[in-house]
A = this chain, B = another copy of it.
Amino acid sequence: MKKLNRIIVAVAFMTGGWCSAQSQSNVIEDFKPSSSNQPGKEYPQVNSEGRVRVQISAPEANRVQLDIGAVKYDLKKDTGGVWTGESAPQDEGFHYYQLNIDGASVPDPASLYYYGASRWGSGIEVPAKDQDFYALKNVPHGQIREQLYFSKTNDKMRRCFVYTPPDYDKDMQKRYPVLYLQHGGGEDETGWSAQGKACLIMDNLIAEGKAVPFIIVMDNGSWRMPARDRSVPRGERPAGPWPPKGWADGFMKTLLDDIIPMVDANYRTLADQQHRAMAGLSMGGMQTRIITLANPDVFAYMGMFSGGSISTEDIANAPGFKEKVKLVFISFGSRELENRRSGFGGDPKENTEKLKEAGMNAHFYVSPQTAHEWQTWRRSLYQFAPLLFK
């Protein structure tokens, strides 16, 4: 059953369309409210298989669907006008979803809301076996600070979020390294703290002595990315590197000219290459690749989560990178590698092995049983952070 649903999901992705699925039979009835519900809400719920069950009152509606993982599942109406139904099993971790009421795609009024897929909308937490590493615990906590600043490059006010570690306000003489951590396409500066739970991951790692305390800056890297023309068959699309040259220049200039100087002026940073890292997921990983290859004097550590890889050819064309960069970290979800399409610039594991052979400190991590989704990136940060600034 689980395998069949996977195939349905895969087909829906590949065709770019959607299919309608009936509520499932043989569902295990151990559903519990999700941790991502609004306060006091009984639905949505998740069971031990990872199925998501939603419920909404819509007495006059003709059709109500749950839209999750690129599949729409029909809900059933009871005599009181309340619609209920569930999805196929979902991967552990966080997923965006929405409801469809008589053709209107809307957020579930019972869930918390997150910015992803270029909209504020519903998200749901499917409990994971390893969720302890991002649990809210009674340990010393850092702060997440909303930082407003003026960007000369863009001639407007911008916003980022800055994580300061638990001891930041204790010793006013101490200075800290900085990680610039970027979200994916269709997401924004809120993603890493809300969906990513980056700050809880760091608080827990620091409490256990597994990572050194550092500052994390989460800014908005959304610069328009040229769309691939999907009407052209894959084999017939024009060759050349992806993303195309010049695409990351807008964010690179803002990062180098506005964000880093603002952070170094307003926070107690160690403001040199040895104490500066950049990482990102998906689009943010591609940006990290372009920006760190072009600026080995600025960043000493780099991480790409589900965002491609770096080859020995890349290094050959980036003077200083091999000598100055102390860590290259590449990660993917296992399902991404299983269903991998071309466009990563070669096999990412093989590329990373070749970097090691060439003498670089290169790491390759695979998140088990996850796809291009937040659980992959939470785990990637959890693996990446202990390697930094040591």
Binding site for B on A (CB under 8 A): 38-40, 56-64, 81, 98-99, 101-109, 112-113, 118-121, 136-138, 141, 143-150, 157, 169, 172, 188, 266-267
4 pairs of A and B residues whose beta carbons are closest in the complex: A58-B104, A61-B102, A60-B102, A59-B103
Q: How far is the CA of A58 from the CA of B101 in the complex (A)?
A: 8
CB distance B169 to A266 under 8 Å?
yes
CB distance B109 to A136 under 8 Å?
no
Chain B's closest residue to A170 (CB) is B266
How many copies, total? 2
Beyond A107-B113, A136-B157, 14 additional contacts (C-beta under 8 Å) are A58-B102, A59-B103, A60-B102, A61-B102, A64-B104, A98-B109, A101-B102, A106-B107, A107-B109, A113-B113, A113-B120, A137-B157, A144-B146, A145-B146
Q: How far is the CA of A119 from the CA of B112 in the complex (A)?
A: 9
CB distance A146 to B148 under 8 Å?
no
CB distance A56 to B104 under 8 Å?
yes
Residues of B within 8 A of A62 (CB): 60, 62, 102
Q: How far is the CA of A56 from the CA of B104 in the complex (A)?
A: 7
Could you tell me the distance in whole angstroms from the C-beta of A346 to the nearest C-beta in chain B? 35
Residues of B within 8 A of A98 (CB): 109
Could you tell me the distance in whole angstroms from the C-beta of A282 to the nearest C-beta in chain B? 19
Residues of B within 8 A of A104 (CB): 56-58, 61, 64, 101, 109
Chain B's closest residue to A121 (CB) is B109
Chain B's closest residue to A169 (CB) is B266
CB distance B105 to A109 under 8 Å?
yes
Q: How far is the CA of A118 from the CA of B118 in the complex (A)?
A: 26
CB distance A141 to B136 under 8 Å?
no
Residues of B within 8 A of A99 (CB): 106
Could you tell me the distance in whole angstroms from the C-beta of A127 to the nearest C-beta in chain B? 18
Could you tell me the distance in whole angstroms from the C-beta of A38 to the nearest C-beta in chain B? 5
CB distance B146 to A143 under 8 Å?
yes
Residues of B within 8 A of A59 (CB): 102-103
CB distance A136 to B148 under 8 Å?
yes
Residues of B within 8 A of A266 (CB): 169
Chain B's closest residue to A222 (CB) is B39
Residues of B within 8 A of A106 (CB): 56, 99, 101, 106-109
Q: How far is the CA of A103 from the CA of B60 in the complex (A)?
A: 6
